[in-house]
Amino acid sequence: MPAYSSNIALQVQHRHSLILGALALLLLILGEHNQAAIGFDSRFVLFANEMLRHGPGFFPTTYGQPYPDYSATSTLFIWLLSKPFGEVTSLSAWLPTAIASATTVTLTYRLVAPHSRQWALMSVALLLLSMTFITQTRAVSLDQMLAAVSLGAFYLAYAHDHLAAPRRHVGLLALLVVGFAIRGPIGLVIPAGVLCSYYLVSGQGRRMFSLGLQALALLLACIGLLLTLAWISGGQTFVHEVIRMQVTGRMDGTEGASSVLYYFTSSMGNYALAYPLAALVLAALLVTGRHQSGAALQLVKYCVAAGLVVMIGLSIPQAKKARYVLAMLPFAAIIAAYPFQAMHGRVFALLRGLIQGLFLLLPGLLIVGLVIARKRFDEQVPSPVGVFFVLGGLQLLAVGALFRAQWRATGLAGCAVFAVWGTYIMVYEPLERSVYDTREFTHQALRLIERTPAPLVLHGMGKDAKAIKFMVNVNRDMSALFTQTAAELGTINGPAWVVMDRKDYQRLQGTVLGNTAPVLSARFDKNDYVLLKKP
């Protein structure tokens, strides 16, 4: 049974979804656009910097060599957006992810609005309130892009069956290829699994089997193309590295291992409020399921199946990180907001009250949290006076919305969203970028190195770890030597500039280099680092 009332109503909902997506995009990119790259972003900004200097290729490069863990797709997005600026900025680096996140917002609303506008808006609010969603949106996140691809595939299948949309099978297959281009094999497997779960629950076994075979054929073809491009880029050795980094390293735990239940337990915090509330809603449905029916409940069932496929499927590889299951979040948000569609029943009334109570309290709780943080980390936390005014105003608006029945749910949700995002952008993000800054130390070191040129040695920094955080702030090609032990340092003849952690420097006491006074000592990625001039 279709979940729409008329084509005109659907067109209006589509316009509303586009407006909501555009407003979400503005929220997602607010802030300073010349911030230094930190953490995981450093790797992708370095990729894009080298692509700006040397032109695009099949794989991104570090130190002029192809990097095996990713194809060049995401770097190409950043490269294209950075070309007009002539450099990679935080805006051009984040914008592909922000567009993917805004697309997720648009599709989430468009999926749910035919059933209930309020349900749709509450689903979007719970999506935007997840801290993992926030942190990954304001970063370079392939998993956020994959989440948009997966939800897009789900929407195309659902819209044909329930929203009178034309069948777009070619579009589904194209999305699977896009997923692979962005995230490798897992980028095709996850949206294909989401689609198969939808067809299974909707009773379309033949279509599920057909799509599964086509997805398998596409996967084999894409892997073949990937390995061919890898051979062209770096030969047989590079092919083995691509296989290890993108497949076997994640499956066998060499990239880090976690419990099989990691996603089911850690998501209570990583994907709050949506995930724990979704668990409560599912428990309520088990208790009152016989009183619930209709197309809305069917959508919830599809979302449960899709979310479980993502979480179970990604629990199989040993390597696990919270961001890997971002594709689950939109489905969890839709489930968590279901009480705003199921208006009858005491259990769902209690859940609505719980959710609205949390929204009402959020601005005030954030004020309390900032006061505590300011007392504990006085020198590090930026002055929160401006944030206090914003949060205080939002708290007053939330209290006002509480007494306006027609605005209560959406008003409280809006205040909560702006409170969380405002605090993140105005307080948490500046603090994080100050603590993990690498730009200031690097620029000071470069000025000293340029005055007296000599080879650069990065000691104990790891070619694919701390060293990348140094090199990302260098606006030209610069070769460096990498050492890990004092013995390796001793093999370097002649003058050289040496960068290392202060702890490593202290371990060298009693040696020639250990007895050399640092030319520069400053914070670098939350640690104390020194620059030494080796005689």
Model pLDDT for residues 40-99, shown as the tens digit of each residue = 999 999 999 999 999 999 999 999 899 999 999 999 999 999 999 889 999 999 999 999
Is the pLDDT confidence value at 250 over 80?
A: no
Which amino acid appears at position 311 of this protein? M
**DSSP tag of 246:** I
- As a whole number of angstroms, the distance between CA 498 and CA 513 comes to 9
Which residue in 188, 295, 163, 167 sits closest to 246, CA to CA? 188
Is the pLDDT confidence value at 427 over 70?
A: yes
Handedness of CA 22, 173, 264, 258 (dihedral sign): negative
DSSP for 23-63, please give it.
HHHHHHT-S-SSPPP-TTHHHHHHHHHHHHHH---SS-EET
Helix axes 408-423, 385-402, angle to 10 degrees: 170
Is the pLDDT confidence value at 23 over 50?
A: yes
Taking residue 97's Cβ as centre, other Cβ atoms within 10 Å add up to 27
User: Residue 361: in which H helix or E strand, if any?
Assistant: helix 346-376
Q: What percent of the chain has pLDDT over 70?
A: 96
- As a whole number of angstroms, the distance between CA 1 and CA 202 comes to 12
Q: Predicted confidence band at 255 (pLDDT cuts at 50, 70, 90)?
A: low
Which pLDDT score, from 0 to 100, does residue 3 have?
47
Which residue in 192, 194, 319 sits closest to 244, CA to CA? 319
Is residue 187 within 8 A of residue 222, CB to CB? The reply is no
Which pLDDT score, from 0 to 100, does residue 318 have?
84
Q: Which two tokens stand for residue 278?
A: 């979704």
Is residue 526 within 8 A of residue 502, CB to CB? The reply is no
- As a whole number of angstroms, the distance between CA 307 and CA 322 comes to 14
Which residue in 326, 333, 314, 395 sits closest to 360, CA to CA? 395
Extents of the domains making up the chain? 7-340, 346-435, 439-534
Which pLDDT score, from 0 to 100, does residue 319 have?
83
Helix (H, G, I), strand (E, B) or coil at 500: strand
Helix (H, G, I), strand (E, B) or coil at 497: strand
The burial class, CB within 10 Å (0-12 / 13-18 / 19+), for 314 is buried
Q: Predicted confidence band at 122 (pLDDT cuts at 50, 70, 90)?
A: very high
Which amino acid appears at position 410 of this protein? T
Q: Predicted confidence band at 169 (pLDDT cuts at 50, 70, 90)?
A: very high
Which residue in 283, 347, 351, 285 sits closest to 126, CA to CA? 351
Q: Predicted confidence band at 2 (pLDDT cuts at 50, 70, 90)?
A: very low
Taking residue 385's Cβ as centre, other Cβ atoms within 10 Å add up to 7
**Bond from prior residue into 273 cis (ω within 30 degrees of 0):** yes
Q: Which two tokens stand for residue 505?
A: 């420097």
Which pLDDT score, from 0 to 100, does residue 1 have?
39
Is the pLDDT confidence value at 289 over 80?
A: no
- As a whole number of angstroms, the distance between CA 421 and CA 129 comes to 8
Q: Predicted confidence band at 377 (pLDDT cuts at 50, 70, 90)?
A: confident
Which pLDDT score, from 0 to 100, does residue 177 have?
98
Handedness of CA 342, 346, 348, 350 (dihedral sign): positive
Higher-confidence residue of 1 and 327: namely 327
**pLDDT, mean of residues 317-338:** 95
Average pLDDT, the chain: 93
No. of H helices and E strands in the chain?
Answer: 23, 7
* Residues composing the chain: 535
Higher-confidence residue of 342 and 212: namely 212
**pLDDT, mean of residues 380-387:** 77
User: Residue 327: in which H helix or E strand, if any?
Assistant: none
Which pLDDT score, from 0 to 100, does residue 379 have?
63
- As a whole number of angstroms, the distance between CA 415 and CA 409 comes to 10
Which pLDDT score, from 0 to 100, does residue 83 have?
94
Model pLDDT for residues 178-199, shown as the tens digit of each residue = 999 999 999 999 999 999 999 9
Helix (H, G, I), strand (E, B) or coil at 456: strand
Extract long-range pairs of 238-243: CB within 8 Å, 24+ residues apart. 238/66, 238/68, 241/68, 242/68
Model pLDDT for residues 331-359, shown as the tens digit of each residue = 999 999 999 998 788 999 999 999 999 99
Which amino acid appears at position 136 of this protein? Q
Q: Which two tokens stand for residue 17?
A: 């979804």
**pLDDT, mean of residues 478-506:** 93
User: Residue 307: in which H helix or E strand, if any?
Assistant: helix 295-315
Q: Predicted confidence band at 292 (pLDDT cuts at 50, 70, 90)?
A: low
Higher-confidence residue of 512 and 230: namely 230
Q: Predicted confidence band at 246 (pLDDT cuts at 50, 70, 90)?
A: confident
Provide φ and ψ at 517, rounded to 5°: -70, 135
Handedness of CA 209, 210, 211, 214 (dihedral sign): positive
Q: What percent of the chain has pLDDT over 90?
A: 80
